[in-house]
Amino acid sequence: VLDPADWERFRASAHHALDDAIDFMRDVRERPVWQPVPEDVKETLRAPMPRDPTAFDDVYDEFKRAVLPYATGNIHPRFLGWVHGSGTPGGAVADMLAAAMNSNAGGRDHGAVYVERQVISWFHDLFGWSAEASGLLVVGTSAANLGAVLVARTSALQSVREHGVEAAQSRLTGYASAATHSCVKKALEIAGLGSTSLRVLPVDAEHRIDVNALHDAVHRDRARGYHPFLIVGNAGTVDVGAIDPLEELAEFAADERLWFHVDGAFGAPAYLSPALRTKLAGIERADSIAFDFHKWLHVPYDAGCLIIRDGAMHRATFAGEGPYITRMQRGLAAGEPWFADFGPDLSRSFRALKVWFTIKEHGAVKLGEAIQTNCAQAAYLREKLAATGRFEVYPGGELQIVCFWPRASSEATVDEAVIRLQESGTAVISSTTLDGRRVMRACITNHRTRNTDLDLLVASIARIVEELQSTRSV
């Protein structure tokens, strides 16, 4: 038995851990955003597998010393490094409850399945989709994009599950802009189509797909004997947060009978904000949408979602069989369809519970407002940066991402300044390459950020850049 010998002693230890976890979240503002893992701690984390038991309290002590201080930092109000959500205390408690229940949401007839169905139906409703639609919670949008590519592949090539892509000689081609996340290319690679099957289209000055170039590419490919099957539109590109003209893409996809998928990793939940919804017009016409709960909805990692308009096609892509998973009319093996019929995994955690708790606790309106606030903060940050006279600010980006760079700076200066800011513990931003230029990037996907945090960011990065440029150290 792996249960505690003394439940009351374990209870005290667990409450102690919970108090620390709550303090850790409450007091995050007082700590550095990030600090590197010291070498001696790395060394302790190379110890071999323990043969003998260790008291829970002692394991916890090692955790508190060697692990807890070295979080990624994304729950901190001045973590603006990448598009990471900030989590919530309620979400952390929900995840503990899910782990205590330890349900397997791969299928069968029990509570976790109904909660996951409810969460998915909320997003069907949000986009006005019918009961024919399906969905699945997954690790994240990378997995959701892969799922969408596979369903689109089935839609284009009915025999693909049986015979594979080689036998079909179908020359499938997909289309997405150059600003698309690399996981889309990876999805086509995994699906056996190869990265060359993805036609990477140019973007306009605001990083939106060039629709004319898309039209030309599809028509040229058809003329050459290729089989166009998929358009991936972006609701929030990774570098600047651009939104492709989704309405136009939907129209073209319908005309050409192509599968229209939207990668809305962080952007799709902006649909909860009435003020931002119009920017996303057309997303509701997609055949499939991928998005994350752990980004702009602040559910603890990991939790992404794939919704598919044609639930039957979704099921046809993944449903399998085995005598050990035979469905019954009653009992625990009832409950068709199973989530395992809609994705690769037969064992799946009760990931939906933390989503259910988060959306219930805060409600759609407040979650939408938090997203809108971050967009307003991005506008504020752009103004503040420009007002220094020291930075150029990338004017595009409709959401929460701000790209900027010090005037007359080298790539090395940008990278070194970003690293020094991280090392200072004051704030975390990242760097990326935009239109050939190395730039700094602040992603305000953070419900804890205040305008004063952005003021501090501007002052800190300006000082670091000044130091670097005056000492010519890089």
- Contact segment (CB under 8 A) with its own copies among 80-88, 216-224, 453-461, 466-474 equals 80-88
Of 135-154, which residues contact its own copies (CB under 8 A)? 139-143, 146, 150, 153
Q: Does residue number 39 form part of the binding site for its own copies (CB under 8 A)?
A: no
d(CA 178, CA 159): 31
- Applying CB under 8 A, among 86, 134, 426, 460 the residue interacting with its own copies is 86
Which 3 state secondary structure label does DSSP give 51?
Answer: coil
Q: Which is nearer to its own copies, 353 or 381 (CB)?
A: 353
d(CA 69, CA 31): 9
d(CA 113, CA 111): 5
Q: Is the Cα dihedral 360, 345, 236, 374 positive or negative?
A: positive
Smallest separation, CB 387 to its own copies (Å): 26
Give the count of residues interacting with its own copies (CB under 8 A): 183
- Applying CB under 8 A, among 31, 32, 72, 215 the residue interacting with its own copies is 72
Give residues with Cβ within 8 angstroms of 156, minimum separation 6. 170, 172, 227, 229, 230, 259
Number of H helices, E strands in the chain: 15, 11
Of 162-181, which residues contact its own copies (CB under 8 A)? 162-171, 181
Smallest separation, CB 260 to its own copies (Å): 21
Contacts of 181-186 spanning 24+ positions with Cβ under 8 A: 181/141, 181/142, 181/145, 181/234, 181/237, 181/238, 181/263, 181/265, 183/141, 183/142, 183/145, 183/146, 184/145, 184/149, 184/232, 184/263, 186/142, 186/146
- Applying CB under 8 A, among 40, 130, 330, 389 the residue interacting with its own copies is 330
d(CA 179, CA 234): 8
Please, are residues 124 and 134 in contact by the beta-carbon 8 Å criterion?
no
- Contact segment (CB under 8 A) with its own copies among 103-111, 128-136, 248-256, 458-466 equals 103-111
Smallest separation, CB 220 to its own copies (Å): 19
Q: Which is nearer to its own copies, 337 or 344 (CB)?
A: 344
Q: Does residue number 118 form part of the binding site for its own copies (CB under 8 A)?
A: yes
| Half-sphere CA count of 89, side-chain side, radius 13 A | 12
Q: Does residue number 53 form part of the binding site for its own copies (CB under 8 A)?
A: yes
Q: Which is nearer to its own copies, 4 or 202 (CB)?
A: 4
Q: Does residue number 432 form part of the binding site for its own copies (CB under 8 A)?
A: yes
Of 212-241, which residues contact its own copies (CB under 8 A)? 238-239
- Contact segment (CB under 8 A) with its own copies among 90-98, 251-259, 275-283, 305-313 equals 90-98
Q: Strand runs (DSSP E) across 264-332, as ranges?
A: 288-292, 304-308
Q: Does residue number 82 form part of the binding site for its own copies (CB under 8 A)?
A: yes
Q: Does residue number 200 form part of the binding site for its own copies (CB under 8 A)?
A: no
Of 288-327, which residues contact its own copies (CB under 8 A)? 292, 294-295, 298, 300-302, 304, 318, 320-326
Q: Which is nearer to its own copies, 250 or 367 (CB)?
A: 367
What's the alpha-carbon Rg for the chain, to the nearest Å? 24
Of 370-399, which residues contact its own copies (CB under 8 A)? 370
- Identify which of 466, 328, 336 has the alpha carbon closest to the alpha carbon of residue 409: 466
Q: Which is nearer to its own copies, 160 or 378 (CB)?
A: 160
Q: Does residue number 62 form part of the binding site for its own copies (CB under 8 A)?
A: yes
Q: Does residue number 456 form part of the binding site for its own copies (CB under 8 A)?
A: no
Please, are residues 104 and 452 in contact by the beta-carbon 8 Å criterion?
no
Site string for its own copies, 18-37 (x = CB under 8 A): xx-xx-xxx-------x-xx
Smallest separation, CB 392 to its own copies (Å): 18
Q: What is the 3-state secondary structure (H, E, C) of 221-267?
A: HHHCCCEEEEEEEEECCCCCCCECCHHHHHHHHHHHCCEEEEECCCC
User: Phi-psi bin for 236: left (phi > 0), alpha (psi -120 to 50), beta?
Assistant: left
Smallest separation, CB 251 to its own copies (Å): 28
- Applying CB under 8 A, among 31, 32, 89, 316 the residue interacting with its own copies is 89
Q: What is the 3-state secondary structure (H, E, C) of 316-327?
A: HHHCCCCHHHCC
- Identify which of 429, 416, 425, 424 has the alpha carbon closest to the alpha carbon of residue 472: 416
Q: Strand runs (DSSP E) across 92-168, as ranges?
A: 134-138
Q: Which is nearer to its own copies, 232 or 250 (CB)?
A: 232
- Applying CB under 8 A, among 98, 151, 246, 268 the residue interacting with its own copies is 98
- Applying CB under 8 A, among 309, 354, 384, 390 the residue interacting with its own copies is 354
